[in-house]
Copies of this chain bind each other. A is one copy, B any other.
Amino acid sequence: DYEVVIDTTLEDGALTYGELYIPGDSSDEILLSAHICHPSLANDNLSGICIATVLAEWLQKQPRRRFSYRFLFAPATIGAITWLAQNHSTLDRVKHGLILSLLGDAGHSTYKRSRQGTARIDQVAEHVLTSSGDAFEVRDFVPYGYDERQFCSPGINLAMGCLMRTPDGEFPEYHTSGDNLDFIKPASLADSFEKCLRIVKIFENDDVLLNQRPFCEPRLGKHGLYESLPQDTNVQNFQHAVQWVLNLSDGQHSLFDIAMRSKLDFSIICKAARELSRCGLVISQDKRNTV
């Protein structure tokens, strides 16, 4: 038997939210949002607040950033609605975003697509989960859940998905006192952070390169980029990455597009791109435009 005492009054009050803006080279923004309104619950959503905080710290330590980042810590629903109302005229700056929640439980990662469904954030999150080698699930957007309800409402429609582990309502401890620090697995929290970081790194490092020798293959051996019989898987993957970057750097494919088509990890595609840039075999499309 329970006795519940609700001691409350109805009067004018104030809504408090936290906002952190980390500027980058471009005014294009990546928005990361965590709800803060569930008292005493660890997974829902101290885990999201924690990941957002560590990610902000990591970003601030970088010497420069391509994108600007905005972190929002606000009560669910009413906080997101308030922030969107106050920033309506500048929402077009938000190019990509994530709602961060439920990131510390023992379950595998779950990504819920944006309302747009095939936005870049949707492709990037799915690539990170796929190339992790871990179990994961990608779900289509539905207009209930967390603050994607607001960020993906029809008049807002931001390219924001939701990164979670076990989704809301699908674990017994959800919205109970069982969602406490014991329910949080350090390895899960670390893994969630790692996946967020990989997503951010893709946006930071993606680029459209132009192959400067597009007619047939250039001789790679003299640049130290070719072994005729690589025995090591990493060496072979790197060599394939070099060939993919050369083959698809035609102005139509970014490095991330190349990672998706080749099914190689974005990081090895970037490494190949750096080596090819060093040799002058590819140059950035942007750099060419500014010459």
Residues of A that sit less than 8 Å from B by CB = 77, 80-81, 84-85, 88, 115, 142-144, 149-150, 152-157, 211, 214-217, 239-240, 243-244, 246-250, 262
Contact = CB atoms under 8 A, between A and B. Distances in A.
A243 B152 CA distance: 12
Contact of A153 (B143, B144, B217): B217
B150 A214 contact: no
A84 B248 CA distance: 19
Contact of A77 (B80, B115, B217): B217
Given A154-B249, A250-B154, A143 B244 contact: yes
Given A144-B240, A240-B142, A215 B88 contact: yes
B217 A154 contact: no
A150 B247 CA distance: 10
Contacts of A214: 153-156
A122 B211 CA distance: 25
Nearest to A169: B229
A243 B143 contact: yes
A244 to B, nearest CB: 6
B246 A154 contact: yes
Contact of A215 (B144, B156, B248): B156
A136 to B, nearest CB: 22
Nearest to A155: B214
12 contacts: A77-B217, A80-B216, A84-B216, A142-B240, A142-B243, A143-B247, A144-B240, A150-B216, A152-B247, A153-B217, A155-B250, A156-B215
Contacts of A81: 216-217
Nearest to A115: B247
Nearest to A213: B155
Contacts of A88: 215
A214 B80 CA distance: 14
A249 B244 CA distance: 41
Given A77-B217, A142-B240, A240-B144, A154 B84 contact: no
A154 B149 CA distance: 43
A115 B216 CA distance: 13
Contacts of A84: 215-216
A196 to B, nearest CB: 25
Nearest to A250: B154
Given A143-B246, A243-B143, A250-B154, A215 B149 contact: no
A154 to B, nearest CB: 4
A77 B226 CA distance: 14
A160 to B, nearest CB: 13
A88 B81 CA distance: 56
Contacts of A249: 154
